[in-house]
Amino acid sequence: MNQDNVKILVVDDDPVSLKMLEKSLCNEGYQVLTATDGPPARKLASQEHPDLIILDIMMPEEDGFQVMDRLKKNSDTAGIPVIFLTGRDELDTKLKGFDLGAVDYITKPFYGQEMLARVRLHLKLSMATNSLVASQAAKLKQIQDAQHAMLVSPRDLPDAQFAVKYLPFLEAGGDFYDVLSISDSIFGYFVADVSGHDLATSYITAAVKGLLRQNCTPFYKPVETVEMMNNVLVEILTDGKYLTGCYCRLNRKAGVMTVVNAGHLPVVHVPAAGSAALIEMDGDVLGAFQNVAYGSQDIRVQPGDRFYLYTDGLVERPGEKRVWSQALSRLTETAATMKDRSIEEATQGLFDTMLADTPRPEDDVVVLGIQV
């Protein structure tokens, strides 16, 4: 932040006070914007994004408290530090200003050097905060890029014939998917949801991916693969972490899809001939207990059959108190209407339709479509 480029918005209906502040700040090399009342001040703040606002409390149309409240409710101006300018020295006035989000106050009549010292202090603090935010954002971007690099795309494995939509709630998500080739005609598909919404959940995905690669082999039955993964995850997960998951292994030559459920949502099956249905079964979660039981089912398949694996962000709305079970019939019906589209179009359509009623999902979302 170069001082010549620092913008300070001064808001005061007293022309003498306004002129004194403007002159003092300009003499220090700051760019000064001025307003005499709340509405034009808020408009200037939204348009110009000043680095600091000096705001008088006593004004005719909107007092400083009202202006401050509206600035903080506007995403364009909420982060701008505000110093109150007040002719009062009452404690309740100061406390109300701080409660609304002011960083400091200056009492009228003010002393020029004191005012400038407070301005410099809060500009430095703002610079430090912005620098910290930028640094953290850069680190989160690295985590996000690293996680996305681990996620296989349909282009990487065209013979697996799948499509995927992945939307993390945070910069790096706790939901996870993987697709891998077990042999020329056998492919594994996995979707998981790690408990919690903190960034620590995203680190678990690397461990899960490694476990999948180690244990998805032709000589392990699919349920044995999941059991082996659980044995390791029980040892490495801490602080009550666990994950739900669904593992599907498709043997294209034999025409068999094996579905293993580990406390996860039911798979949607859309046969080429016949009605769409849910594959529901019980199963314990991964990483919580040593002694577990997982549901497993073999399904005869033919070319054109489809399966959809997904996480609860697709069907659950906690803010609306709507749980996933209430959306399953809609999900199944929607998947059936996509039968004549390509697997890529159908997966995208399922994602768009199920999330059409929410501006932003409240959880990570994965939709994995599989074409037999």
> Which CATH number goes with the domain that contains 129?
3.40.50.2300
Mean pLDDT to the nearest integer, 255-284: 94
Report which residue type is found at 285: V
Q: Are residues 132 and 269 in the same domain?
A: no
Same domain for 117 and 191, yes or no, is no
Residue finishing a domain among 78, 108, 141: 141
> Do 43 and 175 fall into the same domain?
no
Name the amino acid, one letter, at 193.
D
Residues 187 and 306 in one domain: yes
In tens, the pLDDT along 299-354 reads: 999 999 999 999 988 887 655 555 556 688 889 999 999 999 999 999 999 999 98
Distance separating alpha carbons of residues 365 and 169, to the nearest angstrom: 8
- pLDDT category of residue 169 using cuts at 50, 70 and 90: low
Beta bridge partners of 190: 178, 247
Tokens of 104: 């400091």
Examine the fold and report which residue of 110, 141, 172 is the final residue of a domain before the chain moves on.
141
Is 146 inside a domain boundary?
Answer: no
Identify whether residues 50 and 189 lie together within a single domain: no
Range of the domain at 49: 3-141
Torsion sign over Cα 318, 324, 329, 334:
positive
Same domain, 125 and 72: yes
Structure token digits, residue 263: 């406390």
- Inside any domain, residue 332: yes
Q: How many residues does the chain have?
A: 372
Domain count, the chain: 2
pLDDT of residue 284: 94
Asked whether the whole model's pTM tops 0.75, one would answer no
Question: Which residues, 6 or more positions from 121, have their beta carbon under 8 angstroms from its beta carbon?
Answer: 104
Do residue 78 and residue 215 come from a single domain? Answer: no
Q: Residue for token digits 């705001």?
A: 55
Whole-number pLDDT of residue 198: 53
> 3-class SS at 111?
coil
Helix axes 91-100, 64-73, angle to 10 degrees: 20
Residue matched to tokens 């409710």: 73
366 phi/psi in degrees, rounded to 5: -130, 135
The last residue of a domain, from among 112, 141, 170: 141
Question: How crowded is residue 86: how many other Cβ atoms within 10 Å of its Cβ?
Answer: 20
